[in-house]
Amino acid sequence: DAGVIQSPRHEVTEMGQEVTLRCKPISGHNSLFWYRQTMMRGLELLIYFNNNVPIDDSGMPEDRFSAKMPNASFSTLKIQPSEPRDSAVYFCASSLAHRQAYSNQPQHFGDGTRLSIL
Amino acid sequence: GIQVEQSPPDLILQEGANSTLRCNFSDSVNNLQWFHQNPWGQLINLFYIPSGTKQNGRLSATTVATERYSLLYISSSQTTDSGVYFCAVERSSSNTGKLIFGQGTTLQVKP
């Protein structure tokens, strides 16, 4: 079975440019999560979706960050304009959540996108 | 929010040695996962273990939910076990799927 697929694996761009990260969750999973990993803050949840609907975006750093999930098999995380402090590894994860509860199921992670903003 | 503390922060082992990693959490949980982040940065699922004991080859894990801790055992360690081990939990009252990660244990296994 294919796991969570993220693209690109690496992205290097200049400050001020728009960055779009992509994620394809595991087929049949109905919850999708975006995480960011930095040395200073470790792994932190940015936003998550259930059945394509954003449930909690309280972890999104600021208005420059936005995320969408137009269908069950695709999500994007966009940064516009990008800044050097956005440099990090961004992970996407998915899980199968029960109707009555979003939890109690393991999350499976993609390989991440290593983002460098110069 | 819930606190997740992992110990030790760093660990160096000789190949073949055994080790125990610990994860303490400050509230009741309904989801607990152990991950291994390998040197290439990939996060690999090891165990989904909100309670009880599981084993997978040389690795096993035990979660005592009532006492709010989980242990990851690595036996006969190999150099490929090197990397960072993360514990992540979801608070029972959350019911959202939101995982909170500990800061990790960095393991180095020397040949």
**Residue A104: CA atoms inside 13 Å, Cβ hemisphere, count?**
9
For residue B56, list chain A residues with Cβ-Cβ distance below 8 A. Answer: none
CB pair distance less than 8 Å for A104 and B33: no
Nearest chain A CA: its distance from B64 CA (Å): 16
Give the pLDDT confidence of A64-81 residue by residue, as tens digits: 999 999 999 999 999 999
Cβ neighbors of B39 (< 8 A, separation 6 or more) are B82, B83
Give the pLDDT confidence of B54-63 residue by residue, as tens digits: 999 999 999 9
Nearest chain B CA: its distance from A116 CA (Å): 15
Per CB distance under 8 Å, which residues of B are interface residues toward A? 30-31, 33, 35, 41-43, 45, 48, 50, 86, 88, 90, 94-104
Q: What is the pLDDT of residue A65?
A: 96
The average pLDDT across A1-15 equals 93
pLDDT band at B95 (very low <50, low <70, confident <90, very high): low
Residue A12 has pLDDT above 90, yes or no: yes
Q: How far is CA A80 from the centre of its chain?
A: 15
The average pLDDT across B75-86 equals 97
CB pair distance less than 8 Å for B97 and A97: yes
Q: What is the pLDDT of residue B102?
A: 95
Residue B74 has pLDDT above 80, yes or no: yes
Closest CA to A90 of A73, A75, A105, A70: A75
Give the pLDDT confidence of B21-37 residue by residue, as tens digits: 999 999 999 899 999 99
CB pair distance less than 8 Å for A103 and B43: no
Nearest chain A CA: its distance from B69 CA (Å): 17
Q: How far is CA A115 from the centre of its chain?
A: 12
Give the pLDDT confidence of A36-55 residue by residue, as tens digits: 999 999 999 999 999 999 98
pLDDT band at B1 (very low <50, low <70, confident <90, very high): confident
| Phi, psi dihedral angles at A85 (to 5 degrees) | -70, -5
CB pair distance less than 8 Å for A48 and B30: no
CB-based contact B78:B109 (threshold 8 Å): yes
